Structure 1
Amino acid sequence: MGYASKEDIDELYGTDLLVRVADYNKDGTPDPEVIAKGLQAADEICDAYLSAQYTIPVVPTPGVVKNCAIDIAVYKMALGRTGRTDEMRVRYEDALALLEKISTGKVGLGLPPETVDNGDGTSTTTNPNVRRSGGSFDCGRA
């Protein structure tokens, strides 16, 4: 499972946008393979940035990462299409800029602190929004 889904794009921007950017065969419905390629490209870009600070994939997906993935996927699907807009390009560039800040530790993921039972009657609370010294932090991935 990736950082965003077709349903996430549809919920944020509506079906009309998906038809405009992903209906390559012009049958009035978004092409599943175009959506899959756009979402895959978004996941790869997000992972490239996030891997500088976190174990990837980051699970559960923070909202900030999901929104970046949505904007990247929409832009990637719209490449070469007449439906691509300057707003899509700006959102794409903004997503990359935010991912860059996350990758350098200037911006966190907006995750709540995590408390882990140490098994000896004590617990430890950590901040998953910052890189732990000595390595990357696994944000809940099993």
Structure 2
Amino acid sequence: MGYASKEDIDKLYGTDLLVRVADYNKDGTPDPDVIERGLEAADEICDAYLSAQYTIPVVPTPGVVKNCAIDIAVYKMALGRGSRTDEMRLRYEDALALLEKISTGKVGLGLPPVTGEDGTTIDPNTKRSGRSFDCGRA
């Protein structure tokens, strides 16, 4: 189960939007495989950001993450149809910006952050490489 579903997109934006962005075969209904690919792409992007602070997948899904996943999925589906709008692009960019803030700890989800084996909180700025660099000294 992903962060968002077809029903979540329907509820937030309506079926007309899904038809506009996911009806690749032009039969008047959204293509399930297109929706699935869009939602999977959104999950992967969300996980990439969220993993810096949280154990993934984040369950239960906070509403803010669900909304980010919806906007990312809609944008990704629209790319294949050429039906992308400036509003879709802006919502996509806003979702990425919010996920970036979550990944750096500037915005929290009200969940415990990732902890190390010894139970200490892992600083997301050093977690990736385990090394720090001082570029200001010779």
Using the size of structure 2 for normalisation, the TM-score is 0.82
Aligned to 2:46: 46
Aligned to 1:95: 95
Unaligned runs of 5+ in 2: 124-138
Matches within 5 A, 1:52-71: 52-71=52-71
Matches within 5 A, 1:130-141: 130-132=113-115, 133-135=120-122
CA contact (8 A) 1:105 1:131 kept: no
Offset, 1:89: 0.2
Offset, 1:80: 3.6
Offset, 1:135: 4.6
Percent identical residues: 85
> SS state of the match for residue 21, structure 1?
helix
CA contact (8 A) 1:50 1:103 kept: yes
**Would you tell me which structure has more strand in proportion to its own residues?**
1
CA RMSD of aligned residues (A): 1.5
> SS state of the match for residue 79, structure 1?
helix
**Would you tell me which structure has more helix in proportion to its own residues?**
2
1: distance between equivalents of 2:89 and 2:18? Answer: 16
CA contact (8 A) 2:72 2:95 kept: yes
Offset, 1:131: 5.0
CA contact (8 A) 1:108 1:129 kept: no
Offset, 1:84: 1.0
Kindly provide the CA deviation profile for residues 49-72 of structure 1, in whole angstroms up to 9, marking residues without a partner as x: 000000000000000000000000
CA contact (8 A) 1:53 1:105 kept: yes
Aligned to 1:118: none
2: distance between equivalents of 1:19 and 1:80? Answer: 13
Q: What is the one-letter code of the residue matched to 2:67?
A: N
Q: 1:55 to 1:130 in 2, by over 3 A?
A: closer
Matches within 5 A, 1:70-85: 70-85=70-85
Using the size of structure 1 for normalisation, the TM-score is 0.79
Q: What is the one-letter code of the residue matched to 1:73?
A: A
Alignment of 1:12 onto 2:25: no
Deviation >6 Å, runs of 4+: none
